[in-house]
Structure 1
């Protein structure tokens, strides 16, 4: 008897999340995450903020530290491109395609460890490092900021899933695509310079990325802007993230369909 779609989805979510957490423990110990990865990312935030100070280009250090702190979770979320491509080299992709469940949802939950790790990294940068450069937190703004970090990580993760589906047949491009994606976001989404700095076509591209809107919401929150603006930008970023998730599901469906039809999904590379 074939399991009901809802039961199947819950099973995929449960087992996929367990695998993601197991992989997180395999990639990091608390020592390597705290003294290796976290120190590296905090150093990156400090670097770009101080470069702005030294060059005079970043007269508002709060702008730079906010952007680069939130960017940290986006960097980790785009690692889903590489970790999804590993399935082919590990020889598990043909088995996933042969399984009765929908391929896309397996990939959606398979790499959620990057969302967990990225959220923790950005939270540490904002709340521990941010006050050094002028960020001021209150009991009311801290939980809202955490929600914005989670939305940023999830939205960027969905964008990364779309890219992951596109490079499934070209796993050698995984790191190139992942690095290009996060460096592009760092350039155009308002992390280092306002989005208005760029030509209109580039601004339009930035508007299609969740990071742009969640970062705008975070800055509005820190500047004491109206709650409606924070909510509007946060919601817009979430909707765009959901849109990228839809594209990713369709793209992975196409990958599975093509693999079954042509037999091009091989074991290993």
Structure 2
């Protein structure tokens, strides 16, 4: 079987397991009540800050920022779920298998992306009108595309981080929380990116979400999508692809080192 076909088959099989895991973690009821209910309260909490400030612009800014962050936040769960192969004792078997390791991990956490896009879409279009955040049909379509771009871009970054955490699994939650906090602080979720010094603004550009969020903010309340908005979404995907390439290289290095030294345990 040609290698590209074999690689796609591995990704497809890993994705099948990923969605089976998702169905085990969430039932329709627990996702709608337990997960969706919680994050709606989170978004409304920040929107209420805008109400207290009596600034309509603050309500809009905080609401959209928090809603879009839900997509990135859920996609970043890939940092933790990448460790599930080690926890289940299958990492060593995958490492000695006559196939590349990275396609397994690329497919292993795909379940978080559609869930993240769905979560943010429900909040943006279901809760938004209650706060005066209106969407035209073209803007709504563009926003969903933007959420998908945020999910794809953030997934590449999450896998890169996960490729390091795979070596120190007991740090997975700490690292994931730090990365999520960095997204909140630096990507324009609660304060404009321009609030930070120029050096910090420059560092923030490596986060795919910063560009996707800017694009979604730009289309809200409009009837058309500008070239600049399309460029922002393209940049979001390009940066995410760069992170994904780095993640693939790191996963391969991890596998080669483990095969050479026998240092991957079966616990």
The TM-score range, normalised by the shorter chain, is over 0.9
Aligned residues: 266
1:151 aligned residue: 149
2:68/2:213 contact within 8 Å kept: yes
What corresponds to 2:241 in structure 1?
Answer: 242
Deviation, structure 1 residue 229: 1.3
Gaps of 5+ in 1: none
Equivalent position SS for 1:102: coil
1:263–1:69 CA distance, 2 compared to 1 (3 A): same
Whole-Å separation in 1 of the counterparts to 2:65 and 2:187: 9
Runs of 4+ off more than 3 Å? 55-59
**Residues 1:103 and 1:58: Cα distance change in structure 2 (over 3 Å):** farther
Distance 2:145 2:99 in 1: 31
Counterpart Cα distance in 1 of 2:123 and 2:98? 42
Aligned residue in 2 for 1:214:
212
How much has 1:61 moved relative to structure 2?
A: 0.9
Q: 2:113 aligns with which of 112, 115, 122?
A: 115
Which residue of structure 1 aligns with residue 88 of structure 2? 90
Asked if the contact 1:61/1:134 (under 8 Å) is kept, the reply is no
SS at 1:108 equivalent: helix
Deviates more, 1:133-142 or 1:37-46: 133-142
Distance 1:161 1:233 in 2: 22
Match of 1:169 in 2: 167
Equivalent residues of 2:139, 2:221 under 8 A apart = no
TM-score when normalising by structure 1: 0.95
Superposition TM-score, scaled by structure 2 size: 0.96
Where does the alignment leave 5 or more consecutive residues of structure 2 unmatched?
A: none
Q: How far apart in 2 are the matches of 1:143 and 1:103?
A: 36
Q: RMSD of aligned C-alpha atoms?
A: 1.5
The 5 Å alignment of 1:1-269 reads 3-55=1-53, 59-224=57-222, 227-268=226-267
Q: Give the match's secondary structure for 2:137.
A: coil
Question: Could you tell me how far 1:23 is from its partner in structure 2?
Answer: 0.9
How far does the alpha carbon of each residue in 1:110-143 deviate from its partner, in whole angstroms, 9 at most, with x for none?
Answer: 1111112111111111111111222211221222
- How far the C-alpha of 1:57 sits from its partner, in A, is 7.9
Contact 2:49/2:59 (CA < 8 Å) preserved in 1? no
Residues 1:263 and 1:55: Cα distance change in structure 2 (over 3 Å): farther
